[in-house]
C-alpha cells in the first residue's frame, strides 16, 4: 500500500468521525503528519488538496488554541510560498485553509502578527489588477484572495474601512471577470464602514468624507464592535447617521455601483443590492429613488435571487420607492410566475410564498405570519386554482392560498370559490377511496386539514366531509392513523372540538355497524386504534364500545389465539375508558370486560394487566384513578408516586421506590500511587543454558494462545467523597459503580459493587479491569447508584476518569524464574522482528534529548525501573520493554552519547509511536533540548 493510498483511507475516516479517529492518535501528532506530508515534494497536488481539506472542515479540532492556530498558519504559509506557480488549484486551497485557520482560531480577533502578515499578502495579491504582473494563469489566486478578504471583513466588520479608496481604485481598474469580486469586496467594506460611523456621536462632514478617501492600514480596533447584519424591517429601528451630511460623493459611488450591477451574476447582484439597501437605510441624505432606475429590470427578472432582493427592497422602503402601480404590477408578476410552465417546482413554491408574505405599502397586519395582500382578488388568483394533476407540494400551497382568497372574497365569488375547493377535496378523497398510494393519502388528508382550518364553521360542508370520511373508513380501515392524526391536529390548531368530536362519533358508529365478517384480526387492530382515540373524548358515550369489545371476545376465538399485540390494543382502549368522565355509567360493563380478559385471555402478561386495571377500577375513586393513570407532557407519569404507594396510601414506600438524581458530584475515584516495580532483571534464579533459553522463547510465544492471557490491565483507585459533597451523603451504602467508554478501543467494563463509603473512614480500594482491543489512552464515564442512611436511593455522576498511556504499561510477561539472559534474548528477538517486519505493522524510531549523567540515572530509576531488561550503567546503555495488552510491545534502547541521550524505539504496532513520543516528551520536558526522528 502506497502512502497516497494510506492517506486516501485516513482522511475520509477523520472527516467521517473526528472523535473516533483521534481515539487512536493525538491531534498534535496528526497535524504534524499532515504538515510533513504537505512539505513532501513527491506527493502530488491532488493528495495535498485532500490533506488541506481537513483544515478547511475541522480547523478547531486540530488547532484547539490561538497559539497552535498561528503556528499552523505559519507552516501553511511556508508550504504556500514553496508551492510551484503552476499548482494553482493547490495554492488556492492552501490560501483558503490559512484564512480559515486564522479566523476560526481567533488569530484575527486577537490581532496576531500572522494575521497581519497574511492580510498584507492578500492585499498585495489583489493589487495585480488585470493580471499585468503574474499573467492570466494566476487569475484564480486573485479571485480566492478577494474571497478570503471578504470572509475576514465579514468576521471582523470594519477591518477594511481604512482601505476604501484603494479598493475603489482597484475596482475601477479591473476589467476582467474578477471585476465582480472587487465590486463585492468594496461594497461590503463600504457598508461596514458606514455602520461603524452610526455608533459614533456628532459625525462631521470631514469624518464622513474620510471614509471614502481612506487609504491607510487595516482598522484592527473596529473588529471589537461585533457588527452583524442590520435587522431591517418595518418593525425595527435602523441605526442612522445624523441628517445634513454632504452625501454627493457617496451618491456618485452608489450610482456607479448600481450601473455596473447588471454585469454581475444574479447571486452577486442580489448580495450587492442588499448591501446598498442597508447603506441607503443608514444614510438619511441618500434617497431610495437611487434604485428607481433598476426597478424595471428587476420587475422583469426570471431569477429567484433578484426577485428576493426586490421584495427586500420593497419591505425596507415601501411607498418611498414603490408606487401603488408598482405594487400592483409586482403582485401580478408574482402570480404569473407562480404558474409558469418552464419554472421548477421549488421556484413556483417560492413565488407563492412571496405572495403570502408580500410586503405591502399599507399592510393591515405586520405580524410576519401568512396573510393575503389586499390586491390579490379572486379574479387575479383564478389561474392558481388547484387541480388533481398538480404535484403534492404545489397543490397544497395553491389550496392554502385560494382558501385565504375566498375567505376574504365577496359573497357571490366566495360561494362559487369555496364550492370549487370543496369539490377538489372530494375528488382527492375519491382517489384515496380507489386505493391510492401513500403519497396521495397523505396529500389528501393535508388538503382536508387546510380546508378545515379556514372553513370548519360551515356546517353543511363539514357534515358532508365527515360522512365522506366515515364512508371511506368503512372500506379502507388502514386510514385509521391518518384520521386520528387529522383529529389531533384540528384540535391543536382550532381549539374547537366540535368537528373532531362529530368525526370520532361517526367513526365509532361506523365500527359498531360493521358486519362480523369484517372484524378480522387485521382489521380489528385498526378499529382498536380508533376506539382508543374515541375513548379520550368525554363528550362521547362509551357503552357501545364496551359492548363491542365484549361481543368480539366472547363470540370469537380471539382469547385463545389472540396475540399479545391485539390484547395490548384492547387494554389500551380500556385504559382510556378508566379515565373517562362518565365511567360511573359503564362501571359494571367495564368491570365485566376486564374480568373476562383476566380469566380467558391466553397471554399471561395481558391477564396481569387486565387484573391490575380491574383492581384499580374497583378500589379507587375516579379522581385517584385518573391521578394514577395520568401522563406527563413527555409521555411519562405526571407524578413520581408509584402504584404501590397509591394503593397503600404510603408516601414512605413511594419515597423508597424512587431513585433521585444528585445535583453535584458525591463520589470520585482517586488514583492509587503505585510503588515502583522491581526490575525484571533482578531474577531470583538464573537459567543460562542455551537449551533453556530456547524453550523459554517457545513458552513465551505459546502462552498468548491461551484465551485471555495478558489481556487485562488492572487500575487501582480509592473511592472517596467529592470535596463539595453534601453532609447527607457522609455515609452511603451498597454502591454500584457503572462505567461507560467514550471510544471502541476497550471491552465493556463490568460494574463494581462497594459495600459502603464513610467520610470519616479510610476509603475503600476499587480495582478497575480494562481489556484493551487497542492500547490507546481513553476516558471512562463513571456513575453510581447508592443508598443513604434514610433509605433513599440516589443516582450520581462521578468525574470522568482519564486513563493515560503509561497506565497501560505492563512488565514483560515471563515466568518469575526467567534469567536476565533469557529476557534479553526475548527483547532482541522482538526487536529484530520489529526492524524486519511489515511496515504496515511494525516501526523503528529515534528520540533524542540532553541531560546529565545523574539526572539520566534518576529518570530511568523513576520511570523505567519496573521495565528494565538490562542495566549497564557503566557502559551508558539500558534496555527497556513495555508490554501493552492484548499483544503489543514497545522497546527502548537508551544510549548515553557525548552530546545527547539517544532513545531508539521499536514497536510491533506503529500506531503507538505518537503516544510513545508524547510520553517521552513529557518525562524529559525538564531537559534543555529534545528532538525526534521517525
DSSP 832-858: HHHHHS-TTT-EEEEEEE---HHHHHH
- Cell numbers that stand for 424 in this block: 377538489
Distance CA 229, CA 195 (A): 10
Distance CA 786, CA 752 (A): 12
Distance CA 800, CA 742 (A): 10
Residue recorded with cell 431569477: 303
Distance CA 620, CA 630 (A): 14
Q: How many CB atoms lie within 10 A of CB 243?
A: 8
Picking from 690, 678, 679, 703, the residue whose alpha carbon sits closest to that of residue 821 is: 690
Picking from 841, 713, 705, the residue whose alpha carbon sits closest to that of residue 772 is: 713
C-alpha dihedral, 350 to 356 to 357 to 361, nearest 10°: 130
Picking from 458, 445, 340, 454, the residue whose alpha carbon sits closest to that of residue 396 is: 445
444, 756, 824 from 692: Cα distances, Å: 86, 50, 14
H or E segment to which residue 778 belongs: strand 778-788
Distance CA 416, CA 476 (A): 31
H or E segment to which residue 783 belongs: strand 778-788
Q: Residue 810 CA to chain centroid, in angstroms? A: 40
- 540 phi and psi angles, rounded to 5 deg: -105, 125
C-alpha dihedral, 863 to 868 to 872 to 877, nearest 10°: -70
Residue recorded with cell 424512587: 658
- 390 phi and psi angles, rounded to 5 deg: -70, 155
- Is 603:567 a contact under the CB 8 Å cutoff? yes
H or E segment to which residue 611 belongs: helix 604-619
Instruction: Tell the burial category of 410 from Cβ atoms under 10 Å away from its Cβ (0-12, 13-18, 19+).
Output: exposed
Distance CA 580, CA 539 (A): 9
Residues 6+ apart with CB under 8 A from 325: none
H or E segment to which residue 311 belongs: helix 304-317
Distance CA 487, CA 430 (A): 20
Residue 118: what pLDDT? 95
Residue 645: what pLDDT? 33
- Cell numbers that stand for 504 in this block: 370520532
Widest pairwise Cα distance in the chain: 115
> DSSP assignment, residue 363?
-
**Which regions of 617-764 does DSSP assign to beta strands (E)?**
659-661, 667-671, 713-721, 731-741, 752-758
**Which regions of 855-934 does DSSP assign to beta strands (E)?**
868-872, 877-884, 888-896, 901-907, 930-933
Alpha helices in 136-261 (DSSP H): 139-155, 164-173, 179-198, 205-212, 248-260
Residue 199: what pLDDT? 84
171, 404, 758, 857 from 660: Cα distances, Å: 67, 52, 20, 54
- Angle (CA) 788-791-794 rounded to 5° is 50
Residue 691 exposure: Cα atoms within 13 Å on the Cβ side: 0
Q: How many CB atoms lie within 10 A of CB 431?
A: 15
Residues 6+ apart with CB under 8 A from 433: 471, 472, 475, 476
Distance CA 664, CA 708 (A): 38
- Is 73:53 a contact under the CB 8 Å cutoff? no
Picking from 223, 236, 166, 165, the residue whose alpha carbon sits closest to that of residue 196 is: 223
- Cell numbers that stand for 767 in this block: 480495582
Backbone CA torsion sign across 317, 321, 324, 325: negative
Which of 107-116 are b and which e, b meaning 16 or more Cβ less than 10 Å from the residue's Cβ?
A: bbbeebebbe
Backbone CA torsion sign across 913, 919, 922, 925: negative
> DSSP assignment, residue 679?
P
The DSSP result for 526-552, as a single string, is: HHHHHHHHHTT-TTS--HHHHHHHHHH
Residues pairing with 801 in the sheet:
780
> DSSP assignment, residue 269?
H
- Is 616:625 a contact under the CB 8 Å cutoff? yes
Residues 6+ apart with CB under 8 A from 81: none
Residue 231: what pLDDT? 52
Instruction: Tell the burial category of 702 from Cβ atoms under 10 Å away from its Cβ (0-12, 13-18, 19+).
Output: exposed
Residue 368: what pLDDT? 60
Q: How many CB atoms lie within 10 A of CB 332?
A: 14
Distance CA 688, CA 62 (A): 52
677: left (phi over 0), alpha (psi -120 to 50) or beta: beta
Residues 6+ apart with CB under 8 A from 434: none
Distance CA 158, CA 193 (A): 5
3-state SS, residue 521: helix
pTM: 0.68
Residue 736: what pLDDT? 93
The DSSP result for 375-441, as a single string, is: T--HHHHGGG---TTS-HHHHHHHHHHHHHHHHSS-HHHHHHHHHHHHHHHHHHHHHHHTT--HHHH
3-state SS, residue 215: coil
Q: Which ranges of the chain have pLDDT less than 70?
A: 1, 221-236, 365-368, 412, 631-657, 675-699, 701, 708, 725, 816-817, 839, 852-854, 874, 926-934
Amino acid at each position: 500500500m502506497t502512502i497516497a493510498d494510506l492517506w486516501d483511507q485516513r482522511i475520509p475516516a477523520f472527516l467521517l468521525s473526528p472523535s473516533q479517529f483521534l481515539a487512536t492518535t493525538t491531534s498534535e501528532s496528526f497535524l504534524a503528519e499532515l504538515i510533513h506530508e504537505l512539505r513532501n515534494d513527491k506527493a502530488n497536488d491532488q493528495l495535498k488538496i485532500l490533506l488541506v481539506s481537513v483544515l478547511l472542515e475541522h480547523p478547531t479540532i486540530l488547532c484547539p488554541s490561538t497559539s497552535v492556530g498561528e503556528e499552523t498558519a505559519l507552516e501553511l504559509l511556508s508550504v504556500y510560498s514553496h508551492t510551484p506557480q503552476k499548482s494553482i488549484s493547490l495554492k488556492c486551497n492552501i490560501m483558503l485553509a490559512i484564512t480559515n485557520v486564522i479566523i476560526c482560531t481567533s488569530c484575527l480577533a486577537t490581532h496576531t502578527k500572522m494575521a497581519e502578515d497574511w492580510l498584507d499578502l492578500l492585499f498585495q495579491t489583489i493589487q495585480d489588477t488585470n493580471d499585468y504582473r503574474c499573467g492570466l494563469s494566476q487569475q484564480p489566486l486573485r479571485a480566492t484572495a478577494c474571497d478570503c478578504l471578504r470572509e475576514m471583513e465579514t468576521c471582523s466588520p470594519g477591518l477594511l474601512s481604512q482601505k476604501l479608496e484603494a479598493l475603489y481604485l482597484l475596482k475601477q481598474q479591473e476589467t476582467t471577470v474578477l471585476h465582480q469580486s472587487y465590486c463585492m469586496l468594496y461594497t461590503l467594506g463600504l457598508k461596514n464602514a458606514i455602520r461603524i460611523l452610526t455608533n459614533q456621536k456628532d459625525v462631521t462632514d470631514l469624518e464622513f468624507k474620510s471614509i471614502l478617501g481612506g487609504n491607510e492600514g487595516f482598522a484592527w480596533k473596529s473588529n471589537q464592535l461585533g457588527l452583524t447584519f442590520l435587522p431591517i424591517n418595518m418593525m425595527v429601528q435602523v441605526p442612522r447617521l445624523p441628517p445634513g451630511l454632504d452625501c454627493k460623493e457617496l451618491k456618485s459611488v452608489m450610482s456607479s455601483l448600481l450601473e455596473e450591477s447588471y454585469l454581475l451574476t444574479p447571486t452577486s447582484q442580489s448580495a450587492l443590492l442588499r448591501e446598498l439597501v442597508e447603506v441607503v437605510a443608514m444614510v438619511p441624505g441618500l434617497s431610495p429613488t437611487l434604485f428607481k432606475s433598476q426597478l424595471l429590470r428587476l420587475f422583469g427578472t426570471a431569477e429567484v435571487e433578484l426577485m428576493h432582493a426586490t421584495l427586500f427592497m420593497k419591505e425596507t422602503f415601501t411607498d418611498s420607492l414603490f408606487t401603488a402601480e408598482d405594487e400592483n404590477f409586482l403582485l401580478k408578476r408574482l402570480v404569473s410566475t407562480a404558474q409558469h410552465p418552464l419554472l421548477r417546482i421549488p421556484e413556483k413554491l417560492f413565488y407563492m410564498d412571496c405572495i403570502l408574505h408580500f410586503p405591502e405599502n399599507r399592510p393591515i397586519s405586520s405580524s410576519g405570519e401568512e396573510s393575503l395582500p389586499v390586491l390579490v382578488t379572486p379574479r387575479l388568483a383564478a389561474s392558481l386554482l388547484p387541480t388533481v394533476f398538480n404535484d403534492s407540494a404545489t397543490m397544497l400551497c395553491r389550496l392554502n392560498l385560494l382558501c385565504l382568497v375566498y375567505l376574504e372574497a365577496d359573497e357571490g365569488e366566495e360561494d362559487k370559490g369555496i364550492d370549487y375547493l370543496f369539490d377538489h377535496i372530494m375528488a382527492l378523497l375519491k382517489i384515496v377511496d380507489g386505493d391510492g398510494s401513500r403519497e396521495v393519502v397523505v396529500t389528501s388528508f393535508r388538503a382536508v386539514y387546510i380546508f378545515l382550518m379556514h372553513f370548519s364553521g360551515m356546517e353543511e360542508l363539514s357534515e358532508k366531509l365527515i360522512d365522506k370520511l366515515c364512508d371511506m373508513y368503512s372500506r379502507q380501515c388502514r386510514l385509521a392513523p391518518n384520521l386520528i392524526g387529522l383529529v389531533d391536529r384540528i384540535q391543536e390548531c382550532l381549539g374547537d372540538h366540535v368537528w373532531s368530536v362529530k368525526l370520532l362519533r361517526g367513526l365509532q358508529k361506523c365500527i359498531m355497524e360493521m358486519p362480523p365478517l369484517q372484524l378480522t384480526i387485521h382489521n380489528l387492530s385498526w378499529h382498536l386504534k380508533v376506539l382508543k382515540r374515541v375513548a379520550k373524548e368525554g363528550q362521547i358515550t362509551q357503552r357501545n364500545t364496551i359492548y363491542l369489545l365484549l361481543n368480539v371476545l366472547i363470540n370469537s376465538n380471539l382469547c385463545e389465539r389472540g396475540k399479545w399485540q391485539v390484547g395490548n390494543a384492547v387494554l389500551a382502549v380500556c385504559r382510556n375508558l378508566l379515565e373517562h368522565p362518565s365511567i360511573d355509567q359503564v362501571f359494571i360493563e367495564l368491570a365485566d370486560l376486564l374480568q373476562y380478559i383476566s380469566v380467558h385471555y391466553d397471554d399471561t402478561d395481558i391477564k396481569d394487566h387486565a387484573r391490575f386495571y380491574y383492581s384499580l377500577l374497583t378500589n379507587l375513586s375516579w379522581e385517584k384513578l385518573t391521578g394514577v393513570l395520568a401522563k406527563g407532557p413527555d409521555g411519562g407519569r405526571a407524578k413520581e408516586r408509584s402504584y404501590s404507594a397509591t394503593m397503600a396510601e404510603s408516601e414512605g414506600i413511594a419515597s423508597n421506590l424512587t431513585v433521585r438524581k444528585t445535583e453535584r458530584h458525591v463520589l470520585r475515584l482517586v488514583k492509587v500511587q503505585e510503588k515502583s516495580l522491581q526490575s525484571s532483571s533482578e531474577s531470583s534464579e538464573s537459567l543460562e543454558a542455551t537449551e533453556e533459553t530456547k524453550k523459554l522463547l517457545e513458552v513465551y510465544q505459546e502462552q498468548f494462545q491461551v484465551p485471555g492471557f495478558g489481556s487485562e490491565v488492572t487500575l487501582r483507585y480509592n473511592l472517596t467523597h467529592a470535596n463539595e459533597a453534601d453532609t447527607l451523603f457522609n455515609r452511603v451504602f451498597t454502591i454500584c459503580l457503572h462505567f461507560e467508554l467514550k471510544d471502541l478501543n476497550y471491552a465493556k467494563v463490568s460494574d463494581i459493587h462497594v459495600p459502603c463509603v464513610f467520610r470519616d473512614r479510610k476509603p475503600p480500594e476499587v480495582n478497575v479491569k480494562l481489556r484493551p482491543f487497542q492500547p490507546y489512552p481513553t476516558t471512562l464515564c463513571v456513575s453510581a447508584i447508592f443508598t443513604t442512611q434514610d433509605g433513599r436511593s440516589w443516582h450520581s455522576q462521578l468525574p470522568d476518569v482519564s486513563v493515560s498511556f503509561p497506565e497501560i504499561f505492563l512488565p514483560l510477561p515471563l515466568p518469575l524464574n526467567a534469567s536476565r539472559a533469557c529476557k534479553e534474548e526475548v527483547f532482541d528477538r522482538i526487536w529484530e522482528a520489529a526492524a524486519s517486519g511489515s511496515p504496515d505493522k511494525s516501526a523503528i524510531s529515534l528520540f533524542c534529548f540532553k541531560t546529565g549523567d545523574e539526572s539520566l540515572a534518576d529518570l530511568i530509576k523513576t520511570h523505567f525501573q519496573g521495565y528494565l531488561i538490562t542495566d549497564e550503567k557503566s557502559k551508558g546503555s539500558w534496555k527497556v520493554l513495555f508490554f501493552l495488552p492484548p499483544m503489543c510491545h514497545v522497546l527502548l534502547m537508551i544510549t548515553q552519547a557525548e552530546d545527547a541521550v539517544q532513545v531508539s524505539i521499536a514497536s510491533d504496532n506503529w500506531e503507538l509511536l505518537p503516544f510513545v513520543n508524547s510520553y517521552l516528551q513529557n518525562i524529559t520536558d525538564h531537559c534543555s533540548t529534545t528532538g525526534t526522528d521517525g
